[in-house]
Amino acid sequence: MNLIKGLCLTLALFVSNAIAHQYEGDWQFIKGEYKTPSGEILKADNATLVAIKTVKGDKFALNNMQQGEFLGYLAGKFTLDGDKYSEHIEQGTSNEHQGKVFTFKGWLETKQEHGQEVIYWHHKGMVNGTEETEVWRKLAR
């Protein structure tokens, strides 16, 4: 009986570790560049846009504010495939994103800043015809 409990516990730990991935955690938006279909380039940074993204297993949630005003949120399923990941929008305040899937190429960069390790999440992909390149910083726990 103890052997069966031990095997079940080991299997449960294996499954929970298999779901965990490098993007798990809470992330703060740092900066972004957006090339519109017309070729116009727009830029944003965290001086005016405050956004937090949380990823846990196969779920994500994102909310943002600009100049103290709540802009909205998106949430849904998060999937990984090699160096690409997808956000499957299942709910949110933006009707234009509902039911869509956005796929990005993502990579992490680790730096030493002020004696501490800092992790940055870079991604690049298309959102409704706009080429999006963003940088997010992992929040310490």
**What pLDDT digit, counting tens, does each position of 46-98 carry?**
998 999 999 999 999 999 999 889 999 999 999 999 999 999 999 999 888 99
pLDDT at 94: 85
Percent of the chain beyond pLDDT 90? 79
Mean pLDDT for 117-132 is: 96
Which pTM does this prediction carry? 0.83
Percent of the chain beyond pLDDT 70? 86
DSSP 37: T
Query: Three-state DSSP class for 22?
Result: coil
Q: How far is the C-alpha of 2 from the C-alpha of 112, rounded, in Å?
A: 45
Mean pLDDT for 117-135 is: 97
Sign of the CA dihedral with 97 first, then 123, 53, and 43 last: negative
Judged against a pLDDT cut of 80, whether residue 44 lies above it is answered with yes
CB 51 within 8 A of CB 32: no
The class (CATH top level) of 22-138 is mainly beta
The DSSP result for 40-109, as a single string, is -EEEEETTTEEEEEEEETTEEEEEEEETTEEEEEEEEEEEEETTEEEEEEEEES-GGGTT-EEEEEEEEE
pLDDT at 19: 53
